Chains A and B, each alone.
Chain A
């Protein structure tokens, strides 16, 4: 009987067959690159280079703008052309560094070999410093600066590291492939993090639709003390950190708190691979594996892309935009965001590109709510989406706060399941934005 989280969840078709087991392919270097300075949660990074400057691969080009922020490094070698603003595929303006790519010259300190480095006897602080310097952020989609997670606030202790190998979004397979190809490196990364956090226990959660990854990682983990692989029942959103913690150690993070409250630190496998590269190879975070997939795509697969590469070039590698494309989604179909164009550069936040045919891109017509309660049954946070969306419609902000709207993780289970095709999550998101603003204003006034 495989474990899973205890409240709610839905079962979308996993649609992984298009890109599963496609070996990780490196994307060729572009001629021009745009590197946004916001690729993480927190303050934007500040550029430390200027126009005309020549940089090498791995060189620091933007410094973190505070504790909750991240460094950004040059993914290419070449000349900085300008520091300007760029607009992403969702209309958001942000500062970015523009450069011309010339050759592929790396910083000498970076170890580019494929040899596996097994050294583990570092000081915990040294590991955390390396992670911070390398600009590592959570590559599961949220992009939270990893070093912050490794430094629990006073009074809170970490007991277990939970490794997110779940990849619950349909279509995406990059984490799966990374576990198959770089499993040993990931195990070493886990050991490094265990040392940094001073804990003896780690659990790797992998969903049951990846039996080869489960087998591979279990074999690798058996050679090492303290790492356990847990095969989890297939259910969305198993990869949500709160749900994953519930599934792995049967503890539920209380409302408004962070995982450290129950002694857990959660990291995605791709993030942990980046930690391995940073600590063992001196290589900062300059690329990630992305899944480019879709029914009509010519060459769906898992592509290793350096940040700043225009997505048009990545898509060209996968065979180009299919004729029947209706929607392009950055991420997976449950929580990914539909893009208005693919001109924007790849960055730490985009874990995949999904091309949906036009026939599957339109929403169905909305009918009356039939009060079936399926949204309540589906919500993994135990909320009442029918009520929250009605309250948002009527601007009942205090009532929404009282009904725990801020606990919503925006997973989309409610809207996925509603037989009347109601836009439940749209209204809840709107309500969250408003109520969040009211809460912040209240906290500021109370200071």
Chain B
């Protein structure tokens, strides 16, 4: 008689998988990547290729020889980490520094904790911050974007809008000429790390991820709302020079630096963010506050990486917040 397969319910599955979600995030990043290649040329291509290849290779090597486990590169999370790490680097970063970053991101921040799902901190950000602290000079000189004419080897570097804003907060608008027109900022015709320049296309990618139910709105919206509010208060409190209006400062705060990339692609990383909607909102507000505090009063012009890493550490605490139970009465 034919044997039937017996296993417990449910017998249906949505078809969702880790690989599918990673692939959708990679797809969401492609429009912004196209802009970065258009802006930064060879540097964008080379740095990204090295970063992705190194991350995948290290994950495969560590799984096979150190942990002696099945390889996990098929779930595309290493590819995504490589991509996001590259997006956070200047496009003309020396190749050997990129590889060190990949080793720290995958080896230290991810695999040493037990692989996907076990890490506390966002691997790409850990890689980036490690490089920032270890190679401050190379990590804070950005090339002037000139398409495929952008220098990869010889540094012809320029100031970024964020640096200009930092100076503006001291009361001087001397660097404001380095700030491009609003439309250029939105599209990405400006200096910065290779993947963070096109605010508009990063936003589009983020909305694509919400439409495909990869992420929910709670983290990105709470980050951006907090940042906008903080920037507006900064303006109303009179901390900006005369020529910089509050509205412009709010838009700059949202569109420059790692804000869009961080809010939509880094802070929303599943593993390192809270799991309930309430927790996610608090997480986003925390990131917004910390990044603006660093940008306004801290030594660095950019604080997104640090803000996200600090809130990653708070995520387990935020996971103690329980979702609303069915039938629970409001107290």
Residues of A within 8 A of B (CB): 7, 10, 12, 170, 242, 246, 252-255, 257, 321, 325-329, 333-341, 356, 358, 361-364, 367-374, 376-377, 380-384, 386, 403-404, 407, 410, 412, 415-421, 423, 425-426, 429
Contacts and interface: CB of A to CB of B under 8 A. Distances in A.
A332 B292 CA distance: 52
Given A254-B327, A383-B325, A373 B11 contact: no
Interface in B268-295: 270-277
A324 B94 CA distance: 58
Contacts of A336: 9, 11
Nearest to A383: B325
B329 to A, nearest CB: 7
Interface in B1-27: 1-2, 4-14, 16-18, 20-21
Interface string B75-92: 100000000000000000
A321 B117 CA distance: 42
B267 to A, nearest CB: 14
Nearest to B13: A416
Contact of A338 (B2, B11, B12, B117): B11
Q: Main SS of the interface on chain A?
A: loop
Given A338-B6, A368-B115, A421 B325 contact: no
B5 A376 contact: no
A334 to B, nearest CB: 5
A429 B18 contact: no
Contact of B12 (A325, A334, A368, A423): A334
A321 B4 CA distance: 11
Contacts, number: 156
A364 B10 contact: no
B275 A386 contact: yes
B10 A373 contact: no
B172 interface: no
A222 B322 CA distance: 44
A233 B2 CA distance: 40
B275 A382 contact: no
A328 to B, nearest CB: 5
B24 to A, nearest CB: 11
Interface in B193-251: 216
A403 B270 contact: no
Most chain-A CB neighbours within 10 Å: which of B1, B4, B16, B216? B4
Contacts of A7: 324, 326
Contact of A368 (B4, B116, B322): B116
A335 B327 contact: no
A416 B326 contact: no
Contact of B16 (A335, A374, A410): A374
Contact of A340 (B4, B9, B117): B4
B150 to A, nearest CB: 36
A294 to B, nearest CB: 12
B75 A333 contact: no
Given A326-B4, A327-B6, A382 B326 contact: yes
Contact of B11 (A252, A327, A403): A327
B14 A12 contact: yes
A120 to B, nearest CB: 35
B326 A368 contact: no
Contact of B75 (A326, A367, A369, A415): A367
A430 B23 CA distance: 34
Contacts of A326: 4-5
Nearest to B74: A367
Contacts of A381: 325-326
A429 B329 contact: no
Contacts of A418: 16
Nearest to B329: A254
A385 B329 CA distance: 21
A339 B326 contact: no
B118 interface: yes
B171 interface: no
A421 B329 contact: no
Nearest to B6: A338
Contacts of B117: 368-371, 420
B323 interface: yes
Given A336-B9, A367-B75, A325 B325 contact: no
Contacts of A257: 327
Nearest to B276: A376
16 contacts: A7-B326, A170-B12, A327-B5, A327-B7, A334-B12, A338-B6, A338-B8, A364-B13, A369-B117, A372-B270, A376-B275, A376-B323, A382-B324, A382-B326, A404-B325, A407-B327
Contacts of B271: 370-371
Given A255-B328, A419-B18, A429 B8 contact: yes
A341 B328 CA distance: 42
B326 A337 contact: no
A382 B328 contact: yes
B9 A339 contact: no
Given A7-B326, A407-B326, A328 B4 contact: yes
A416 B9 CA distance: 9
Contact of A371 (B1, B12, B275): B275
Nearest to A381: B326
Contacts of A376: 275-276, 323
A12 B12 contact: yes
